[in-house]
Structure 1
Amino acid sequence: MLDLNANPTTSYNAELKIWSGAREQSFYNEDLTIGQIIFKQLQSEPQRIFQISHSENTRLTRSQMLHNGAKVSVYLEAQGYHKETDIVGLVARNSTHLAALAYGCLFNGTPFHAINPNLEEHTMRSLFGITKPRMICCDAQDYEKLRKIATALGTKILIIHGRMAGVLSIQELLNATIPEDYRPAQFQRGIDRIMAILCSSGTTGTPKAVTISNSRQIFESHSYLSANDIQYAPSTLDWLTGLITLVTAGVYGTVRLISMEVFSPTHFLAMCEQQSISWAVLAASHIAMLANCPGINAKQLCSMRHLLFAGGHTLVATLHKMQSYMRGEGILRNAYGMTELGACISYNSSVHTKPKSVGLLVPNVRMRVVNPSSETVGPNEHGELYCHNGHHWSGYYGNCLATAEIKDKEGWFHTGDLGYFDEDNYLHIVERKKDMLKYLGMMYYPHEIEEIIAQMPQVAEVCVFGIWNETEGDAAAASVVPRPGSQLHPAQVVQFVAELISVSHKQLNGGAQIVHQLAKSANGKVNRQAVKAAYLIAAGKTEITDS
C-alpha cells in the first residue's frame, strides 16, 4: 500500500530516457467495476457514519448510503439503462443525495456525465449535445436552465435537491423497495467500462467530454486512507478531485464531509475545527486564499493529516506561509493530475524542501520529456510531458479527432504541459504549452513574473498574461489582488518587477492593475484568459489581433 508519509519512488531509465513510478499489482479482479467494489465495502460496519452534510445538517450511515444507491440502481435497471451509451446527465452541487445518485449509476454500470452548475447554458447545451443523456439530474434552482436543454434532447429531468411540482424527485426513488437478491450489474472487463464523463478544464477553449474508466488508479494512489479519516473536497462531481473523493470514500470507508456552500477560507477553517477534517483536496487558488486569510491559525488545522492541492501554479511564498500553519512536514502536498488519465500523475510531500516541484510519480505511471525537435530528453532538460499509465481510455466522447491529438498510437498522452525532471527524479511543471509567451522575439512564461510579484508583502494573488500586438508580441501585464488591509498601487508593482528582473522582455510592458479577485473557472483554477479579458475592459484597451 502507498504510504503518503513518505514520497513514492521514481526511477529513471537512462537508455530509454523514461521515468517510472513503482510497479504495483492491483488487488481487484479486472471484471469488477468500481461500483461492485464500493457495494461490497459499504456492507461492512453498516451503522458507522458514512456522510455528513455540513450545510444541510444531515448524516447517513454506510447502510443508508448502500440502500439509497441500490434504489437508484434498481430504478435505472427498470428504465432499461443497460448500454454504455445509456447516459445520465448530472448538474448538481454537493447535497445529501448526490452520492446515492452517483453510486446508483456505478452499481448499474451507467456512466454519468457531470457538468458544473455554474457553466453557461450554451456550454451545457453543447456538452449534453455530445453525450445525449437519457435523463438529466439537477437541483431545483437550475431547473429552468436545464428544462430547455432536456426538451430539445427529448429527455426527462430528475430533481436531486429541492422540489419542483410535477417533476420527478430523487426522494421518489428512495421511497422504493429493493429486491432481496439485488446485486450490482456485472460485466466482462468491467475495468474498461466508462464509469463517468467529466469536462476538460476549459481554460484553453470549449470544454470536452472526457471519459473516465473504472481504472483502479483513481483510488489506489490513495490507499493510505482508512475509516478513521474525514474527507472533504469542495469540488462537485464534474471535477476530477470531486470524483476521486466520491470513489475513495466508498472504497476505503472514510467519513465523507460535504457542503453546498462555495469555498471560502472562513467556511473551510470552521469545518476543520468542527468536523476534524483529516484529508482535503483543494484548488491551488484555495491555498492562496487560505494562506492570506487574516484569521487563520495552526490550531484550526491541527486535525489535518493530508492537505492536497492541485489544478494550477502556486507561488513559493504562498507555500511557505501555508506550511507554517501545518503541524508537521509532509502534510501540505502538491498533486499533479490530468482529467484524461482519471487520476493523479504525481504528488509532492516535500513541499518544504522542493516547493517548485509537483513531486514523484505515483505507481504504474511512466513519463517522457519531448523537446520541440520531437527528441526525448533527459534530466534537467525542458520539453512537453508525455504520460503513459497502461490503462484503457475511451477518449473524448464523440470526438475521435481530439482523442487522436492527445493520445498517440503507442498510448502516450501528450499533456500539453512543459516541464522537466531534476536530478532527484522530481517532476517540475514549467507552464502550460499554450501559456508560453514571446516578446520582441524572446520567450518567457507568466509564472516567472508571478513568482517575482508574489515576493511583495502586500500581494495575495497575482496572474500574469500577455497582451499581443504584431510588432512586439506578447507584452506582459499583471492583475494583482492585495492582501486584506494593505495599500498597493499598479506603479509599485511595475517598479518592483523592473528592480528584480533585468531583462526587458520580462518587464510588465503591458502594465498592472489592482483587482479585488481573479476570475476562476468553475473548478477553482485561475482562468488566465478571463483575467486578461477583464484587464482589457477595465483598461479600455483592445488587443490587436489578426482577424
Structure 2
Amino acid sequence: MESNYDDNLKTWSGGERQSLFPADLSIGEIIFQEMERHPKHIAQISLTDDSVLTREELLLNAKRVASYMRNLGLGQNDIVGVMGRHTNHLAAVAYACFFNGTPFHALHNAYEPSTIETLFGLTKPRLIFCDGDDFEKVRAATESLQVKIITMRNHPTGSIRIQDVLTTPVDRNFKPFRLKNGTDQTLAILSSSGTTGVPKAVTISNSHQIIVSFLPMNNSIVHYTSSTLDWFSGLTMTIIAGVFSTTSIIADSDFDPGLLCNVIKKYKISLVLLSSSYIAMFANCPEFKSADLSSLKYLFYGGSNCSLEVQNQVRSRLSHDCLHFCYSLTELNSVGCVNFNFDRKPNSVGRPVKGTKLKIIDKQGESQGPNSAGEICFYSGQKWSGYFKNPEESRIIQDSQNWFHSGDLGYMDEDGYLFIIDRLKDMLKFQNIIYYPSEIEKVIAEIPNVVEACVFGIWDAENGDEAAASVVRKPGTQLEAQDVVDYVRKRIAAKYKQLNGGALIVDQISGCGSRKINRAAAKAYYLKHMNNN
C-alpha cells in the first residue's frame, strides 16, 4: 500500500486505481458474466442447515427473483426493500437487483418499527424481502405503502414465500439490463450508523471502486462475515463473492464467536471480516485460545474503535501478520484505508487505498501535515448522489470540492499511516477541560471480565459532562458497576476522566443494529435505568 504525500497540498494518496473490468459494465453485468464462467464452484455454505449452493444454482435463483421483479414491472427507477439475515436466499435477492439495475434499500433487522417506517417511508419500496421473524414489524411499519412483502425464512401467514418466487420461469435469453445512466447510477441504498439521530439513506453507486482491488482475490478464497447487506462491509463481501467466485460461509443467526472458531478450521476459512465489537467477542470467547486459525490469510475488522489490548490478543494467536484494521465512510463507496502492517504500526487504520486521497484539516479547514491532529477527510473522485432526498445533510458531509468530512479526529504519521483519535462530535468537557470517551473506554477494556464498553457524558450543572459507562461483562463472570468505577479511578489520575457519572452493567450496548457504538442510544438507556432505580 502506497502513501504518497504532497507537501504543497498536504494530502496523502494511495495512488492511481485501475479497474479490473470494462468501465461501462454495471456491477450486475460483471457478476453475471463471472457466475456463468464458474458454474460448478461452490458459492455458499450455510452453517444453519448445512446446505450448499453452487454458483450455477445461485445464479438460477437470482435470475428467477429478477424475472419475478420484471413481471411486476419494477424498473430502474423503483426501489426494493431488504431486511434480512444471512439466509440461503439473501445473495440471490441482491444479485437479482443488480441484474435489473433496481437499487435495494437495506435495513438492519434490529431497527425499531418507527425507524423502519421513517426510512422505507423515504424510499417507498414497491417490494420488500425480509425474514418471517420480522414480517409483522415490517408490515405494520409499511402499512401506508401498500407494498408486497416476501419472506426468506420462517414464513408467517399472509406473507409471500421466497420458494413461490423461485418458481418463476426464466427467459432463455435472460441477460442483465444495461444501466440507463451508466455506472454513476445507484446500486444500493444503505443506512448510516445513526449516531446522531435517525439513520440517513446513503446512496451507493455502480462505480467499480466498490470492487476490492487491493487483494489477490480468486476462487480459492473461503470467507465469512457477520455483516449483512445493510452494512457497507456486507455489501462489499456479497460483491466480492459474485465477482471473484469466492465461497461464502453464512449463518442466519446472531454472531457466535465460538462457532466461528470451530468453522475456521472445518472449512479452512481464509478471509474473515468482523466489526470491532465482534473482534472483541471473538478474542474473549473460551474457544479462541485453542482454535486452529492456521488457514487465515486475512482478518479484517473495523467500524468503530478497538482497544489495542484486544488487537494484540488476536495477533498473538496468528502465525503471521494478517490482522488488518480497515477504515472508511459508507458515503465514500469504497474502502478508505487498510493497515497491512499491524506488527509495525499497531492500532493504525493504515494507508489510503488506490484511487483515494486523504487530508487532515484544522477547525479553520486548513490542511495539516504529518503528526498534526484534525478532522479526517477523503476524496475518491467518484460521483456521489448524496443521501436519498436529503440534499441539506449531503452538503454537510461533502463539500464543494467533493471532499467527504468524516467527523472523526485523527492524524497521519511521518510514514503515511492514519491513526484515529475519536469522533469530533463525541468531544466532552468537564469543568471546561476537553476529553474524549474513547480514552476511558480503552482503560475499561483492560479489565479481564469486560467484553465491551461505551462511555458517554451525563450533564451536570456544575461540572459539565460527567463520564458514565455501560459495560458488558463476560458471561459467567462476576463484575459489578462499582468495580469498573474503582478500576478507572486507579488507572486514571485526572478527575475529569474518571467515571464521575457512574457505571451500569448491561447485557448488550444499546445501538443501531450495525454494531457500531451508538452513544446516544446507550446514554438514553442508562438514564432511563437510573431514573427508574
Tell me which interval the TM-score lies in, with the shorter structure as reference length: over 0.9
Looking at structure 2, the residues matched to 511 and 122 of structure 1 have their Cα atoms a distance apart, in angstroms, of 31
Q: What's the CA shift for 1:351?
A: 2.4
- The superposition leaves residues 439-461 of structure 1 with CA deviations (integer Å, 9 ceiling, x where unpaired) of 11111111112222333444433
> Of 412, 420, 442, which aligns to 2:411?
420
Tell me if 1:55 matches 2:52: no
* Distance (Å, rounded) in 2 between the aligned partners of 1:460 and 1:145: 30
Gaps of 5+ in 2: none
Shift of 1:78: 2.7
> 1:487 and 1:509 mapped to 2: Cα distance?
22
The alpha-carbon distance between structure 1 residues 25 and 339, as it changes in their structure 2 partners (threshold 3 A), is same
Note if 1:25 corresponds to 2:18: yes
3-state SS in 2 of match to 1:534: helix
Q: Within 1, Cα distance between the matches of 2:66 and 2:502?
A: 56
| CA-CA distance at 1:232 after TM superposition | 1.1
CA contact (8 A) 1:223 1:252 kept: no
- The 3 A distance-change label for structure 1 pair 450 and 147 is closer
Q: What's the secondary structure of 1:210's corresponding residue? A: strand
- Aligned residue among 270, 277, 290 for 1:285: 277
Contact 2:121 2:142 in 1 (8 A): no
Matched, 1:433 2:418: no
1:68 match? 61
TM-score (norm 1): 0.93
1:362 alignment partner, one of 353, 356, 377: 353
Shift of 1:269: 1.6
Q: Which residue of 2 aligns with 1:396?
A: 387
Deviation, 1:222, is 4.9
Match of 2:258 in 1: 266
CA contact (8 A) 2:200 2:387 kept: yes
Q: Distance in 2 between matches of 1:516 and 1:162?
A: 26
Q: Deviations over 1:56-113 (max 9, x none)?
A: 2211111111121112222222322223x31111111111111111101100100011
Letter of the 2:201 partner, please give it.
Answer: A
In the alignment, structure 1 segments of 5+ residues that lack a partner are 1-7, 543-547
What is the aligned partner in structure 2 of residue 545 from structure 1? none
**Which residue number corresponds to residue 352 of structure 1?**
343
Q: Give the whole-Å Cα distance in 1 for the aligned partners of 2:373 and 2:522.
A: 27
- The CA deviation string for residues 486-520 of structure 1, in whole angstroms up to 9 with x for no partner, is 54444443344334333332222223334444334
Alignment-derived partner of residue 228 in structure 1: 220
CA offset digits 1:381-430 (Å, max 9, x no partner):
11111111001111111111111111111111111111110111101111
Q: Deviations over 1:241-270 (max 9, x none)?
A: 110110000000000111101002112222
Q: Cα distance 1:459–1:256, how it changes in 2: closer, same or farther (>3 A)?
A: closer
| 1:39 pairs with 2:4 | no
SS class of match (1:243): helix
Q: Does 1:326 align with 2:322?
A: no
Post-superposition Cα deviations, 1:185-242, rounded to whole Å, max 9, x if no partner, equal: 0135531110001111112210011111011122234542210111111121111111
Once residues 241 and 60 of structure 1 are traced to their aligned partners in structure 2, the CA distance between those partners, rounded to angstroms, is 22
Judge conservation of contact 2:407–2:425 (CA < 8 Å) in 1.
yes
- Structure 2 equivalent of residue 453 of structure 1: 444
Instruction: Give the counterpart letter for 2:345 in structure 1.
Output: K
Of 235-244 and 71-80, more deviation after overlay is shown by: 71-80
Task: Determine if the alignment matches structure 1 residue 518 to structure 2 residue 509.
Answer: yes
Residue 240 (str. 1) matches residue 232 (str. 2) = yes
Q: Distance in 2 between matches of 1:19 and 1:320?
A: 28
1:182 aligns with 2:174: yes
Match of 2:518 among 522, 527, 547: 527
Listed as ranges, the matches of 1:122-201 within 5 Å are: 122-165=114-157, 167-187=159-179, 190-201=182-193
Q: Note if contact 1:320-1:352 (Cα within 8 Å) is conserved in structure 2.
A: no
Deviation at 1:275, TM superposition (A): 2.1
Q: 1:181 to 1:311 in 2, by over 3 A?
A: same
Q: Secondary structure at the match of 1:288?
A: helix
Q: How far apart, in 1, do the equivalents of 2:213 and 2:491 lie?
A: 40
Alpha-carbon separation, structure 1, partners of 2:466 and 2:272: 38
Q: Which residue of 2 aligns with 1:302?
A: 294
Identity %: 42
Task: Report if the CA contact (8 A) 2:66-2:96 is conserved.
Answer: yes
Residues 503 and 161 (structure 1), Cα distance of their counterparts in 2 relative to 1, 3 Å cut: same
CA shift in 2, pair 1:438/1:104, >3 Å: same
Q: Do the aligned partners of residues 208 and 286 (structure 1) sit closer, same or farther apart at CA in structure 2, a change above 3 Å counting?
A: same
Stretch deviating more after TM superposition (33-42 or 113-122): 113-122
SS at match of 1:101: helix
Aligned length: 533
CA–CA distance in structure 2, aligned partners of residues 413 and 283 of structure 1: 22
Secondary structure at 2:454 match in 1: strand
Contact 2:294-2:319 within 8 A present in 1 as well: yes
> What does residue 116 of structure 1 align with?
108
For the pair 1:77 / 2:57, whether they are aligned, the reply is no
Corresponding position of 1:5: none
Q: Is the 8 A contact 1:294 1:484 kept in 2?
A: no
Secondary structure at the aligned position of 2:328 is classed as strand
User: Aligned partner of 1:63: which letter?
Assistant: E
SS at match of 2:335: strand
Aligned to 1:375: 366
TM-score, scaled to structure 2: 0.95
Structure 1 window deviating more from structure 2 (20-29 vs 413-422): it is 20-29
Please state if 1:385 is matched with 2:376.
Answer: yes
Asked whether the 8 Å contact 1:137–1:158 carries over to 2, the reply is yes
The 1:13–1:490 alpha-carbon spacing in structure 2 relative to 1, beyond 3 Å, is same
Letter in 2 for 1:523: S
How has the CA–CA distance of structure 1 residues 509 and 185 changed in structure 2, closer, same or farther, with 3 Å as cutoff?
same
2:269 aligned partner, one-letter code: I
| SS of equivalent to 2:38 | coil
Cα distance in 2, alignment partners of residues 137 and 458 from structure 1: 39
State the match for 1:502 in structure 2.
493
Distance 1:397 1:517, change over 3 A: closer
- For 2:139 and 2:87, how far apart are their aligned partners in 1? 20
Confirm or deny: 8 A CA contact 2:117 2:142 kept in the other structure.
no
- Contact 2:82 2:106 survives alignment (8 Å): yes
Q: Give, in whole Å, the separation in 2 of the partners of 1:176 and 1:487.
A: 55
- The residue type paired with residue 515 of structure 2 is G
- 1:490/1:143 CA distance change after superposition, 3 Å: closer
Aligned partner of 1:4 in structure 2 is none
Tell me the distance in 2 between the aligned counterparts of 1:118 and 1:524: 10
Query: What pairs up with 1:1-20 in 2 under 5 angstroms?
Result: 8-20=1-13
User: What is the CA distance between 1:30 and its match in structure 2?
Assistant: 2.7
* Paired residues of 2:261 and 2:287 also in contact (CA < 8 A): no
- Give the direction of change, closer, same or farther, for the CA distance of 1:128–1:490 in structure 2 (3 Å limit): closer
Distance 1:148 1:19 in 2: 48
- Distance in 2, matches of 1:296 and 1:168, equals 41
Deviations 1:163-188 (A, max 9, x none): 34554332223223322221110135
